[in-house]
Amino acid sequence: MVNDTTRLLGLDGLAVVEVIARDEHAGEGPIVWLATRDERARVCPGCGVMATRMKEWVTTRPRDLPVGGRRCLLLWRKRRWICSKTACPRKTFTEQVPQIPARARLTERLRRSSGAAVADGGRTIVQAARDHGVSWPVVSAAFTAHAAQVLPAEPQPVTVLGIDETRRGRPRWVYDEAAQAWKTVVDRWHVGFVDLSHGQGLLGQVEGRTSQAVIDWLDARGREWKSQVAHVAIDMCTIFKAAVRAALPHAVLVVDHFHVVQLANAAVTEVRRRLTVQVRGRRGRKGNREWELRNRLTRSAARMHGSQLDPMIDDLMALPKRLGTPILTAWNAKEDLLDVLALARTHPDRSVIADRLFRFYDLCAASGLPELERLAGTIETWWPQILAFIRTGITNAGSEGTNRVIKTVARDAYGFRNPESQRLRTRCATTRKSRGCLNPA
């Protein structure tokens, strides 16, 4: 007969015999005496024959999850049996149940809970170990086992793939005596592959920011998997561009517009800093109007109110001509480029794109500023990929958000010494949404 206390505890194969209360004010949970309820515990693990002769009684103290918010002291009084088969190498054995295997000090559900707290709950291993009252190595092994169950061995096919790199820490080298040169053991860069179409999250990571590393990861997925990739979103990195052209020649390469805007803002900042040093003989500081407008110059005019935009232009025009006019020209060139990018997702006509692009090129060429000429050359080099963004509207925001989570995980762990552990932790953290762990329901 199964009593209500046994059902409340929920350890299959075990029955609660007695519960002894202790001082709750001292933080001590009750003592729970257990007995074996499953007859299959008498089966010898070596030969599979059910034993009939008992040798002695044994009492163990397995640790389990808290019950009702209290951590109970479990005392399992079980029997040691003598194997009936004389040829069996196991002469004696103690009773065991699926939740508490032989020689186990922890229940299986306690191990699974500690591993799931790291993989699905976003906790660090140290925090999960403290919450569950176990050691760091136990939680680390439980997390590895849990991750092997919940993470797919191979990612599902994707139609839009995002590629981006993130920095993981300091590199490490070792001196190769045979080659008489230093060899990189741990690279400071990790390249991540993110699903931007179906929400799988981080598909995988490789160590090293090289074209060959990206090509090897894509080739390992197989020809059928690669054939389904229609678009690849990257930043303005020639390494990724060469790798995609070699491994996915059929895919359309798209440049994320965020990096284009970032490049344009950097050009405006370079013009302002260079001219300030030339005109004032020093760096900009408080009291210099062009320095006080440094943040407003990198904002989009479409997102600025007239009370901010008009005074900024007037202040630049009031500066010395050799200082204010070039800065205003660089700002206008940046705004012309933003007007080109603003055509994304609007299905514009080719003539509209050509007119806005010509206006940007013409202003850069007539400005005589080396920063704008370099910016125009970069845009011309990457124009096919920028045009793909205007036509498709695909961005690499998913990869950037994934990198944010990766950095947060590394910061919470105070860094990682093992790159394999870091990749496993980051993949679990970045796939929690696709695995349903962040569903509020």
Residues 204-244 pLDDT 10s? 999 888 999 999 999 999 999 999 999 999 999 999 999 99
> Please, which pLDDT band fits residue 177 given cuts at 50, 70 and 90?
confident
- 140 and 14 in a common domain: yes
pLDDT tens for 302-348 read: 988 888 899 999 999 999 999 999 999 999 999 999 999 999 999 99
- Give the integer Cα–Cα distance in Å for 180 and 157: 43
Chain centroid to CA 118: how far?
A: 13
Indicate whether 167 pLDDT > 90: no
Backbone angles phi, psi at 104, to 5 degrees: -85, 135
Residue 15 covered by a domain = yes
Cβ-count burial 80-91 (b if 16+ within 10 Å, e if not): ebebeeeebeee
pLDDT at position 46, please?
Answer: 86
Higher-confidence residue of 413 and 74: namely 74
Shared domain check, 66 and 190: no
- Residue 153's pLDDT is 86
The rounded percent of the chain whose pLDDT value lies above 70 is 99
**11 within some domain:** yes
pTM to 2 decimals?
Answer: 0.83
Is 202 in the same domain as 319? no
Which of these ranges, 15-19, 182-186, 227-231, 407-411, has the smallest mean pLDDT? Answer: 182-186
pLDDT of residue 173: 79
Two tokens, residue 386? 């920028």
What is residue 68's predicted lDDT score, i.e. its pLDDT?
Answer: 81
CATH number of the CATH domain containing 220: 3.30.420
Q: Is residue 71 part of a domain?
A: yes
Instruction: Give the tens place of pLDDT for each residue, 95-120.
Output: 999 999 988 999 999 999 999 999 99
pLDDT band at 1 (very low <50, low <70, confident <90, very high): low
Residue 425 is assigned to a structural domain of this protein: no
- What mean pLDDT value characterizes the chain? 91
Q: What is the pLDDT of residue 354?
A: 96
Are residues 179 and 221 part of one domain? yes
pLDDT at site 434 = 84
Q: Does the residue 270 lie in any domain?
A: yes
Residue finishing a domain among 148, 181, 198: 148
pLDDT-above-90 percentage for the chain = 67
Does residue 421 lie in a domain region?
no
Identify whether residues 201 and 245 lie together within a single domain: yes
Please check whether residues 264 and 330 belong to one and the same domain: yes
Q: How far is CA 390 from the centre of its chain?
A: 28
Task: State the average pLDDT over residues 23-37.
Answer: 84
Asked if residue 242 and residue 264 are part of one domain, the reply reads no
* 35 and 118 share one domain: yes
pLDDT at 187 over 90: no
Domain boundary, last residue among 82, 116, 148: 148
144-158, 331-345, 403-417: the lowest-pLDDT one: 403-417
One-letter identity of residue 41: A
Query: Are residues 103 and 198 located together in one domain of the fold?
Result: no
**Count of domains forming the chain:** 3
Higher-pLDDT residue of 378, 178 = 378
Query: pLDDT-based confidence at 179, cuts 50/70/90?
Result: confident
pLDDT of residue 4: 82
Q: Considering the domain boundaries, does residue 420 fall inside one?
A: no
pLDDT of residue 440: 62
Q: From the CA atom positions of the chain, what is the Rg in Å?
A: 32
Clarify whether residues 249 and 313 are in a common domain.
no
Q: Does residue 441 register a pLDDT over 70? A: no
Is 133 in the same domain as 168? Answer: no
Q: Which residues pair with 63 in a beta bridge?
A: 106
Q: Chain centroid to CA 101: how far?
A: 35
- How far is 116 from 128, CA to CA, in rounded Å? 9
Q: Decide if 78 is inside a domain.
A: yes
Domain boundary among 91, 124, 148: 148
383 pLDDT above the threshold of 90: yes
Output the pLDDT for position 339.
96
Q: Are 39 and 141 in a shared domain? A: yes
The whole-number average pLDDT for the span 400-426 is: 87
Structural domain containing residue 302: 257-392
DSSP bridge pairs for 19: 32
End-to-end CA distance of the chain: 36
Q: Is 205 exposed, middle or buried (0-12, 13-18, 19+ CB in 10 A)?
A: buried
Q: How far apart are CA 428 and CA 201, in angstroms?
A: 9
